[in-house]
Amino acid sequence: MSQTTDRGGRRIHFLEHGEGEPIILVPGLGGGARVFGTLPRRFGRNGFRCLSVDPVGLPPSGPLPDGEFVFDDAADDLIAVLDATGVERATLVGTSLGGKTALTAAARHPERVARLVMLASAAYTSQRARRVYSFFQTIAEKLEPTEFAVVVAPFLFGRTFHQNLPAVVDDIIRATRPTADARALMQSQAKALRSFDGLSLCQAVRCPTLCVAGLEDTLTGVDEVRTTAEAIRTAEYLEIADAGHTLLLESPATFDAVCSFAAARS
Protein backbone atom coordinates (compact mmCIF):
# COMPACT_ATOMS: atom_id res chain seq x y z
CA MET A 1 0.00 0.00 0.00
CA SER A 2 1.32 3.42 -1.01
CA GLN A 3 1.02 6.22 1.53
CA THR A 4 2.19 9.79 2.01
CA THR A 5 2.58 11.93 5.11
CA ASP A 6 3.71 15.50 5.70
CA ARG A 7 6.13 16.87 8.30
CA GLY A 8 6.37 20.63 8.32
CA GLY A 9 6.02 20.84 4.56
CA ARG A 10 8.24 17.80 3.88
CA ARG A 11 6.24 15.25 1.88
CA ILE A 12 7.30 11.69 2.74
CA HIS A 13 6.16 8.74 0.65
CA PHE A 14 6.35 5.16 1.91
CA LEU A 15 5.05 1.68 1.14
CA GLU A 16 3.47 -0.72 3.61
CA HIS A 17 3.41 -4.51 3.44
CA GLY A 18 2.22 -7.12 5.91
CA GLU A 19 1.06 -7.17 9.50
CA GLY A 20 2.90 -7.79 12.73
CA GLU A 21 5.99 -6.32 14.38
CA PRO A 22 6.73 -2.97 12.69
CA ILE A 23 10.01 -2.41 10.87
CA ILE A 24 11.16 0.44 8.65
CA LEU A 25 13.56 -0.19 5.76
CA VAL A 26 15.84 2.80 5.16
CA PRO A 27 17.62 2.84 1.77
CA GLY A 28 21.18 3.81 0.98
CA LEU A 29 22.80 6.44 -1.21
CA GLY A 30 20.46 7.72 -3.92
CA GLY A 31 17.97 4.93 -3.29
CA GLY A 32 14.31 4.73 -2.42
CA ALA A 33 11.75 2.12 -1.48
CA ARG A 34 11.97 0.37 -4.85
CA VAL A 35 15.60 -0.66 -4.30
CA PHE A 36 14.39 -3.24 -1.78
CA GLY A 37 12.53 -5.09 -4.54
CA THR A 38 10.51 -7.97 -3.12
CA LEU A 39 12.09 -7.76 0.34
CA PRO A 40 9.22 -5.77 1.93
CA ARG A 41 6.77 -8.49 0.86
CA ARG A 42 9.10 -11.15 2.23
CA PHE A 43 9.26 -9.35 5.56
CA GLY A 44 5.46 -9.11 5.45
CA ARG A 45 5.17 -12.86 4.92
CA ASN A 46 7.49 -13.41 7.89
CA GLY A 47 5.26 -11.64 10.41
CA PHE A 48 6.33 -8.02 10.05
CA ARG A 49 4.53 -4.82 9.20
CA CYS A 50 7.15 -3.50 6.81
CA LEU A 51 7.37 0.19 5.95
CA SER A 52 9.84 1.15 3.20
CA VAL A 53 10.59 4.83 2.77
CA ASP A 54 11.35 7.10 -0.17
CA PRO A 55 13.64 9.82 1.24
CA VAL A 56 12.68 13.43 0.77
CA GLY A 57 14.37 14.49 -2.45
CA LEU A 58 13.31 11.37 -4.36
CA PRO A 59 9.81 11.29 -5.88
CA PRO A 60 7.11 10.43 -4.98
CA SER A 61 8.45 12.12 -1.82
CA GLY A 62 8.77 15.88 -2.04
CA PRO A 63 11.86 17.93 -2.91
CA LEU A 64 14.69 18.60 -0.50
CA PRO A 65 14.47 22.08 1.02
CA ASP A 66 17.26 24.10 -0.58
CA GLY A 67 18.48 20.89 -2.18
CA GLU A 68 20.39 19.95 1.00
CA PHE A 69 20.29 16.52 2.63
CA VAL A 70 20.50 16.71 6.43
CA PHE A 71 20.71 13.54 8.52
CA ASP A 72 18.72 14.99 11.42
CA ASP A 73 15.86 15.87 9.08
CA ALA A 74 15.94 12.46 7.40
CA ALA A 75 15.86 10.80 10.83
CA ASP A 76 12.89 12.88 11.92
CA ASP A 77 11.11 11.91 8.70
CA LEU A 78 11.25 8.27 9.84
CA ILE A 79 9.50 9.22 13.07
CA ALA A 80 6.87 11.05 11.01
CA VAL A 81 6.19 7.76 9.21
CA LEU A 82 5.67 6.08 12.58
CA ASP A 83 3.28 8.84 13.58
CA ALA A 84 1.35 8.53 10.33
CA THR A 85 0.85 4.80 10.78
CA GLY A 86 0.07 4.90 14.49
CA VAL A 87 3.19 2.93 15.39
CA GLU A 88 4.68 3.72 18.78
CA ARG A 89 8.01 1.90 18.35
CA ALA A 90 9.64 0.08 15.45
CA THR A 91 12.81 -1.67 14.41
CA LEU A 92 14.84 0.45 11.99
CA VAL A 93 16.79 -1.45 9.32
CA GLY A 94 19.18 0.82 7.45
CA THR A 95 21.58 -0.14 4.70
CA SER A 96 24.76 1.91 4.13
CA LEU A 97 23.72 5.59 4.30
CA GLY A 98 20.35 4.37 5.58
CA GLY A 99 22.12 2.85 8.56
CA LYS A 100 23.48 6.27 9.47
CA THR A 101 19.99 7.76 9.15
CA ALA A 102 18.59 5.00 11.36
CA LEU A 103 21.39 5.51 13.89
CA THR A 104 20.58 9.22 14.00
CA ALA A 105 16.90 8.44 14.60
CA ALA A 106 17.74 5.99 17.39
CA ALA A 107 19.89 8.61 19.11
CA ARG A 108 17.43 11.48 18.65
CA HIS A 109 14.27 9.50 19.44
CA PRO A 110 15.23 6.57 21.69
CA GLU A 111 11.67 6.13 22.91
CA ARG A 112 10.48 5.38 19.34
CA VAL A 113 13.14 2.89 18.23
CA ALA A 114 12.73 -0.63 19.57
CA ARG A 115 15.73 -2.10 17.75
CA LEU A 116 18.35 -0.89 15.30
CA VAL A 117 19.97 -2.78 12.43
CA MET A 118 22.90 -1.23 10.56
CA LEU A 119 23.84 -3.12 7.39
CA ALA A 120 27.19 -2.30 5.78
CA SER A 121 27.13 0.99 7.65
CA ALA A 122 29.58 2.79 9.92
CA ALA A 123 29.17 5.53 12.48
CA TYR A 124 32.37 7.37 11.72
CA THR A 125 33.90 8.63 8.51
CA SER A 126 37.48 7.67 7.72
CA GLN A 127 39.61 9.44 5.14
CA ARG A 128 39.18 6.42 2.87
CA ALA A 129 35.39 6.68 3.25
CA ARG A 130 35.49 10.39 2.36
CA ARG A 131 37.22 9.47 -0.89
CA VAL A 132 34.51 6.89 -1.60
CA TYR A 133 31.80 9.51 -1.07
CA SER A 134 33.62 11.99 -3.30
CA PHE A 135 33.78 9.29 -5.97
CA PHE A 136 30.01 8.77 -5.82
CA GLN A 137 29.35 12.49 -5.85
CA THR A 138 31.48 12.84 -8.97
CA ILE A 139 29.95 9.97 -10.92
CA ALA A 140 26.43 11.09 -9.97
CA GLU A 141 27.27 14.44 -11.52
CA LYS A 142 29.31 13.35 -14.53
CA LEU A 143 28.08 9.98 -15.77
CA GLU A 144 25.19 9.32 -18.09
CA PRO A 145 22.38 7.21 -16.55
CA THR A 146 23.30 4.26 -18.79
CA GLU A 147 26.89 4.33 -17.54
CA PHE A 148 26.23 4.58 -13.82
CA ALA A 149 25.52 0.95 -12.91
CA VAL A 150 28.35 -0.31 -15.11
CA VAL A 151 30.79 1.73 -13.03
CA VAL A 152 29.40 1.02 -9.55
CA ALA A 153 28.43 -2.67 -9.89
CA PRO A 154 31.96 -3.97 -9.18
CA PHE A 155 31.83 -2.19 -5.81
CA LEU A 156 28.19 -2.77 -4.83
CA PHE A 157 28.29 -6.56 -5.03
CA GLY A 158 30.77 -8.97 -3.55
CA ARG A 159 33.05 -11.26 -5.51
CA THR A 160 30.91 -14.33 -4.81
CA PHE A 161 27.73 -12.68 -6.09
CA HIS A 162 29.51 -11.64 -9.28
CA GLN A 163 30.86 -15.17 -9.79
CA ASN A 164 27.69 -17.11 -8.96
CA LEU A 165 25.02 -14.85 -10.45
CA PRO A 166 26.55 -12.92 -13.37
CA ALA A 167 23.22 -12.82 -15.24
CA VAL A 168 21.54 -11.17 -12.25
CA VAL A 169 24.29 -8.56 -12.10
CA ASP A 170 23.85 -7.93 -15.83
CA ASP A 171 20.08 -7.54 -15.37
CA ILE A 172 20.59 -5.04 -12.54
CA ILE A 173 23.03 -3.05 -14.66
CA ARG A 174 20.58 -2.92 -17.57
CA ALA A 175 17.67 -1.94 -15.30
CA THR A 176 19.50 0.77 -13.34
CA ARG A 177 19.01 4.21 -14.85
CA PRO A 178 19.23 6.86 -12.12
CA THR A 179 16.83 9.72 -12.75
CA ALA A 180 17.88 13.35 -12.52
CA ASP A 181 16.21 13.49 -9.09
CA ALA A 182 18.10 10.43 -7.89
CA ARG A 183 21.43 11.80 -9.10
CA ALA A 184 20.79 15.16 -7.44
CA LEU A 185 19.87 13.41 -4.19
CA MET A 186 22.99 11.27 -4.41
CA GLN A 187 25.19 14.32 -4.79
CA SER A 188 23.60 16.00 -1.77
CA GLN A 189 23.80 12.83 0.31
CA ALA A 190 27.44 12.23 -0.63
CA LYS A 191 28.25 15.76 0.52
CA ALA A 192 26.51 15.11 3.86
CA LEU A 193 28.29 11.79 4.26
CA ARG A 194 31.73 13.38 4.06
CA SER A 195 31.08 15.36 7.24
CA PHE A 196 29.04 12.72 9.11
CA ASP A 197 30.35 11.90 12.60
CA GLY A 198 28.15 9.40 14.37
CA LEU A 199 30.39 8.25 17.22
CA SER A 200 28.70 10.64 19.65
CA LEU A 201 25.34 9.32 18.43
CA CYS A 202 26.43 5.80 19.35
CA GLN A 203 26.64 6.80 22.99
CA ALA A 204 22.99 7.90 22.94
CA VAL A 205 21.63 4.64 21.52
CA ARG A 206 19.71 2.63 24.13
CA CYS A 207 18.06 -0.07 22.07
CA PRO A 208 19.44 -3.48 21.08
CA THR A 209 21.49 -3.02 17.93
CA LEU A 210 22.83 -5.33 15.24
CA CYS A 211 25.79 -4.21 13.11
CA VAL A 212 26.35 -6.44 10.08
CA ALA A 213 29.44 -6.47 7.84
CA GLY A 214 29.94 -8.28 4.55
CA LEU A 215 33.41 -9.75 4.35
CA GLU A 216 33.56 -8.94 0.61
CA ASP A 217 32.38 -5.33 1.02
CA THR A 218 34.75 -2.90 -0.70
CA LEU A 219 32.77 0.25 0.16
CA THR A 220 32.27 0.01 3.93
CA GLY A 221 35.22 -1.67 5.60
CA VAL A 222 34.70 -4.55 8.00
CA ASP A 223 36.84 -2.73 10.55
CA GLU A 224 34.58 0.33 10.28
CA VAL A 225 31.48 -1.73 11.03
CA ARG A 226 33.23 -3.50 13.91
CA THR A 227 34.32 -0.18 15.41
CA THR A 228 30.74 1.05 15.22
CA ALA A 229 29.49 -2.02 17.08
CA GLU A 230 32.13 -1.49 19.75
CA ALA A 231 30.97 2.12 20.21
CA ILE A 232 27.34 1.13 20.85
CA ARG A 233 27.08 -0.49 24.25
CA THR A 234 23.95 -2.45 23.28
CA ALA A 235 25.29 -3.72 19.96
CA GLU A 236 25.98 -7.15 18.54
CA TYR A 237 28.40 -7.58 15.65
CA LEU A 238 27.86 -10.05 12.82
CA GLU A 239 30.04 -10.89 9.83
CA ILE A 240 28.56 -12.40 6.67
CA ALA A 241 30.90 -14.43 4.50
CA ASP A 242 30.63 -14.40 0.71
CA ALA A 243 28.71 -11.09 0.63
CA GLY A 244 29.53 -7.52 -0.28
CA HIS A 245 27.80 -4.18 0.24
CA THR A 246 24.25 -5.14 -0.75
CA LEU A 247 23.81 -7.61 2.08
CA LEU A 248 20.04 -8.14 1.93
CA LEU A 249 20.21 -8.86 -1.80
CA GLU A 250 23.31 -11.04 -1.77
CA SER A 251 22.86 -13.04 1.40
CA PRO A 252 19.82 -15.04 2.57
CA ALA A 253 21.65 -15.39 5.87
CA THR A 254 21.42 -11.62 6.34
CA PHE A 255 17.65 -11.63 5.82
CA ASP A 256 17.28 -14.48 8.31
CA ALA A 257 19.48 -12.70 10.86
CA VAL A 258 17.49 -9.47 10.55
CA CYS A 259 14.19 -11.34 10.96
CA SER A 260 15.44 -13.18 14.05
CA PHE A 261 16.84 -10.03 15.60
CA ALA A 262 13.76 -7.90 14.88
CA ALA A 263 11.41 -10.57 16.24
CA ALA A 264 13.32 -11.02 19.50
CA ARG A 265 11.87 -9.63 22.69
CA SER A 266 13.97 -7.15 24.65
| Tens-digit pLDDT profile for residues 196-236 | 999 999 999 999 999 999 999 999 999 999 999 999 999 99
The predicted structure's pLDDT at residue 174 = 86
User: Cα 106 to chain center, whole Å?
Assistant: 14
The answer for residues whose C-beta is within 8 angstroms of residue 47's C-beta and 6 or more apart is 18, 19, 20, 21, 263
51 vs 34: CA distance, rounded Å:
12
Q: What angle do CA 155, 261, 71 make, to 5 degrees?
A: 55
Are 178 and 29 spatial neighbours (Cβ–Cβ below 8 Å)? no
* pTM metric for this prediction: 0.95
Averaged pLDDT for residues 56-68 = 94
What are the structural domain ranges in the chain?
A: 2-123+197-263
Architecture of the 2-123+197-263 domain = 3-Layer(aba) Sandwich (3.40)
The residues pairing with 211 across neighbouring beta strands, listed in sequence order, are 118, 237
Are 149 and 172 spatial neighbours (Cβ–Cβ below 8 Å)? yes
> Nearest-CA neighbor of 22 among 68, 110, 77, 91?
91
